[in-house]
C-alpha cells in the first residue's frame, strides 16, 4: 500500500508578497519551492533544480552588474572577491531565513523530519530557484530588482570592510602573513548522524590554537574559526602598530540599512 503524499505547505502567497513579485504564473513559484525529496514521493512533479541552475546565472549577472556600477575603481579581482562572498551559500541561506522560505518548501517526509526546512544548502538552493522563477515570470528587470532587494544588505556588509571581507580564511591568511607568522592550519572534527552532521574546526597558527568554529559543513566551520581568529588577532584600529597575537574581543561593523534597489 502506497503512502499518501506529503502535506502541501500553505502560505505561498505570503512569500510572493515578501518577494514583492506578483506571479503571473503561480506554478513557477510552486516549482521553485519543490525539493527533490518531494518529487521522490510525488512522481508527477519535478524538482526545482533546473530553476536553481537558471537562478544561479541570473544571480551572478545581477550582482556583477550592480558591483560594476557601484565600484568603478575596484579591480576585476576585487570585484570577484566581493561577488563570491555575496552569492555564497551562507549568504543566500541568510536571505532565505530572513524572508522565511523554510515553511513554504515542498519537502518529502524524511527530509522534513530531519530538519530540511532549516538546512542552509536547501535554503540557498531555493533562493536561487526563486530568482530563476521571477526571471521566467517577469524578465530581467524584475529579477535584478529582486536580487538587489534580497542581497543589498550583504553587498554593503562585504564592501564596508573591503573586497574579500566575507572570506575570513583569506582575510586571516593575509593578516598572519602581514604579521610575519606561519600560515594558518585547520583541524576538523565531525559528530552526529549522517543526515545531521556537525563539524568543529580549530585554526592553529605557530602551533597555537587561535580560534574555533562550528558548522554544518567543513568549509563553514573553518570560516567561523577563521573569523574568530581574525577578530582576535587584528590590531586595534586606533593602534595600527600593534602586531601582538593576544586575543581580544571585537565587534563586527553595524550594517547600514539603506536600500540598494536602484538599478
pLDDT tier, 117 (very low <50, low <70, confident <90, very high otherwise): very high
> Residues 49-84: pLDDT tens digits?
999 999 999 999 999 999 999 989 989 998 998 898
The three cell numbers of residue 259 are 536600500
pTM, two decimal places: 0.64
**In 148-253, where do the E strands start and end?**
185-191, 198-205, 208-215
The pLDDT value given to residue 194 = 83
pLDDT tier, 262 (very low <50, low <70, confident <90, very high otherwise): very low
pLDDT at 196 over 60: yes
**From the candidates 41, 52, 56, 222, which is the catalytic residue?**
56
**From the candidates 41, 52, 125, 128, which is the catalytic residue?**
128
pLDDT at 217 over 80: yes
Percent of the chain with pLDDT strictly greater than 90: 49
Going from N- to C-terminal start, the domains of the chain cover 12-160, 168-233
Which is more confidently placed, 213 or 51? Answer: 51
> Residues 118-172: pLDDT tens digits?
888 899 999 999 999 999 999 999 999 999 999 988 787 666 555 555 668 767 8
Which residues are within 8 A (CB) of 80 and not within 5 positions of it... i.e. 6 or more apart?
A: none
Measured distance CA(120)–CA(263) in Å, rounded: 29
Measured distance CA(205)–CA(17) in Å, rounded: 48
The pLDDT value given to residue 162 = 57
Q: Give catalytic status of residue 222 as yes or no.
A: no
The pLDDT value given to residue 163 = 56
pLDDT at 1 over 50: no
The pLDDT value given to residue 238 = 34
Which residues are within 8 A (CB) of 11 and not within 5 positions of it... i.e. 6 or more apart?
A: 103, 104
Q: Give catalytic status of residue 56 as yes or no.
A: yes
> Residues 5-32: pLDDT tens digits?
566 666 678 899 999 999 999 999 999 9
Q: Look over the chain and give the mean of its residue pLDDT values, rounded to a whole number.
A: 82
Q: In 3-state terms, the chain is what percent helix, strand and coil (to 5)?
A: 55, 10, 35
pLDDT at 195 over 90: no
Residue 74's Cβ-count burial label (10 Å; 0-12, 13-18, 19+) is middle
Pair 143, 136: CB distance under 8 Å:
no
Find the distance separating the first CA and the last CA of the chain, reported in whole Å. Answer: 55
Second CATH level (architecture) for the domain 168-233: 2-Layer Sandwich (3.30)
The pLDDT value given to residue 173 = 78
The pLDDT value given to residue 241 = 32
Mean pLDDT across 107-113: 92
Domain spanning 12-160: CATH 1.10.1520.10: yes
Amino acid at each position: 500500500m502506497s503512502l499518501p503524499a506529503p502535506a502541501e505547505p500553505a502560505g505561498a502567497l505570503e512569500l510572493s508578497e515578501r518577494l514583492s513579485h506578483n506571479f503571473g504564473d503561480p506554478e513557477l513559484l510552486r516549482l521553485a519551492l519543490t525539493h527533490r525529496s518531494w518529487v521522490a514521493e510525488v512522481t508527477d512533479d519535478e524538482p526545482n533544480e533546473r530553476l536553481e541552475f537558471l537562478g544561479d546565472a541570473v544571480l551572478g549577472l545581477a550582482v556583477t552588474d550592480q558591483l560594476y556600477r557601484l565600484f568603478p575603481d575596484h579591480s576585476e579581482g576585487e570585484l570577484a572577491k566581493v561577488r563570491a562572498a555575496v552569492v555564497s551559500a551562507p549568504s543566500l541561506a541568510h536571505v532565505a531565513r530572513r524572508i522565511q522560505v523554510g515553511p513554504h518548501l515542498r519537502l518529502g517526509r524524511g527530509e522534513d523530519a530531519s530538519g530540511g526546512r532549516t538546512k542552509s544548502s536547501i535554503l540557498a538552493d531555493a533562493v536561487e530557484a526563486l530568482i530563476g522563477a521571477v526571471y521566467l515570470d517577469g524578465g530581467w528587470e524584475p529579477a535584478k530588482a529582486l536580487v538587489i532587494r534580497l542581497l543589498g544588505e550583504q553587498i554593503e556588509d562585504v564592501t564596508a570592510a573591503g573586497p574579500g571581507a566575507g572570506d575570513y580564511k583569506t582575510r586571516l591568511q593575509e593578516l598572519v602573513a602581514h604579521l610575519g607568522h606561519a600560515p594558518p592550519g585547520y583541524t576538523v572534527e565531525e559528530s552526529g548522524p549522517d543526515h545531521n552532521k556537525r563539524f568543529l574546526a580549530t585554526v592553529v597558527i605557530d602551533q597555537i590554537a587561535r580560534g574555533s568554529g562550528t558548522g554544518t559543513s567543513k568549509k563553514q566551520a573553518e570560516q567561523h574559526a577563521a573569523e574568530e581568529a581574525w577578530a582576535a588577532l587584528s590590531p586595534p584600529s586606533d593602534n595600527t602598530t600593534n602586531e601582538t597575537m593576544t586575543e581580544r574581543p571585537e565587534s563586527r561593523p553595524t550594517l547600514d540599512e539603506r536600500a540598494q534597489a536602484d538599478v
